[in-house]
Structure 1
């Protein structure tokens, strides 16, 4: 396994694994994502807005791997993966600021996670999206994931609906 955090460059953008000491980056973009897109997030228990800095420091450590998407030195997005065990991970928490969408940057979110997974020789991946989020559905399927099932869930915005689950065997 590599000792150095992973980084990928693409024109004026780069995406890299955030260090544990950079939890404030994670905190700021995660809270922005929840505030900007509350209809897309399921989990917030306990409410992340009430987390202490120590809580945020814990959430950037393994088993969660967090990546920050930057335009030059400006954080504009994030994604993460959650290790379920030594061979499986769940992809989640993807967000790109609205003004940066439509530029193919979601490919970087997938590319860095897939590179990390390959380096760590994981065998099984899973991911989900809200049924109405057709943009996520397209990106998930483009990345090679196959539909597995759906589950009725309570969303962060107080509504209920289906979460669509996908898996990928490597």
Structure 2
């Protein structure tokens, strides 16, 4: 189950963060599904590698026979597919409500262009400063207001 949650959270997070760079996704039906299908190569490679190593370990170190290994793999896969299916069902319902809300914008080309056009002079904003407990308790310089010397180099 944890692997399914990790893979789905990776898909969701990267979709939220990077879908603005792929504007053609806005014109397709079920963009999240297409994004997930497009990004299944790395998780599949990981799962194949993981199962090969898990079976090798169970045979050589745990000295298990074929049936217990089959049960372990089946349990892993059933939990994995359960999480993936529940996540997909949830996000497809959310996708429908987003489509209902965005249909007026998408159907009007001028409004669509004004919503997704990069404004002149707009630059990437600097990431917000996050104060950590260590930098707050042990500042390198008392005048740095909680920022350490390493953090000041990057901001």
Please classify the TM superposition score into its range, dividing by the shorter chain length: under 0.3
Name the TM-score, length of structure 2 as normaliser: 0.25
Bigger strand share = 1
Bigger helix share = 2
Name the TM-score, length of structure 1 as normaliser: 0.23
Larger radius of gyration: 2
